[in-house]
Amino acid sequence: MTTTDDYAAYIASLPRVLAGAAALFRDAEGRVLLVEPNYREGWALPGGTIESDQGESPREAARRESAEEIGLDVPLGRLLAVDWSVGPDRPPLAAYLYDGGVLDAAQLASITLQEEELLSWKLVEPDELTTHLLGSLGLRAQEAYRALQSGEGPVELENGRRPIA
């Protein structure tokens, strides 16, 4: 075996981690934009899987996914939160959440949903995020919104919560 083969075998033996990225879009009143997926229960933020095999960064993925899912290709603001999320039925997920900015009335009116994945969209009050977003996603979005409002961040999260130092 060559050194290249040894290295390839080593890389293949490493654990796998999923990586995702999303954007936190708001309207002028501070409500958060959510989308309703057709492939699972609950609501979501515009975003999805990072195509790391294509060399895509988390920021690029959040922008690409937002453009695909809601038809808005807008530059993203700062990173608000990074969450290490562990679930019982999947590998660990490293989730990045960016500031999508405030959408004006024209942008909201121009939202075009990706029919293959989404059923609808809506705006919700920040204090309702954990009602509509299941599990750690709701906690992640809430912490990211707090970081956005306070100017803090990015915040480090584990399953949507700030780790105890």
From the list 109, 83, 100, the residue with the least C-alpha distance to 46 is 100
- DSSP for residue 128: G
* pTM check: above 0.85: yes
Q: Are 121 and 35 in contact (CB under 8 A)?
A: yes
The pLDDT score that the predictor gives to residue 87 is 82
The pLDDT score that the predictor gives to residue 81 is 98
Could you read off the pLDDT of 40-79 as tens digits, one per residue? 899 999 999 999 889 999 999 999 999 999 999 999 999 9
Low-confidence ranges of the chain (pLDDT < 50): none
The pLDDT score that the predictor gives to residue 1 is 56
The pLDDT score that the predictor gives to residue 23 is 98
What domains can be seen in the chain, in order of their start residue? 17-158 (3.90.79.10)
The pLDDT score that the predictor gives to residue 124 is 98
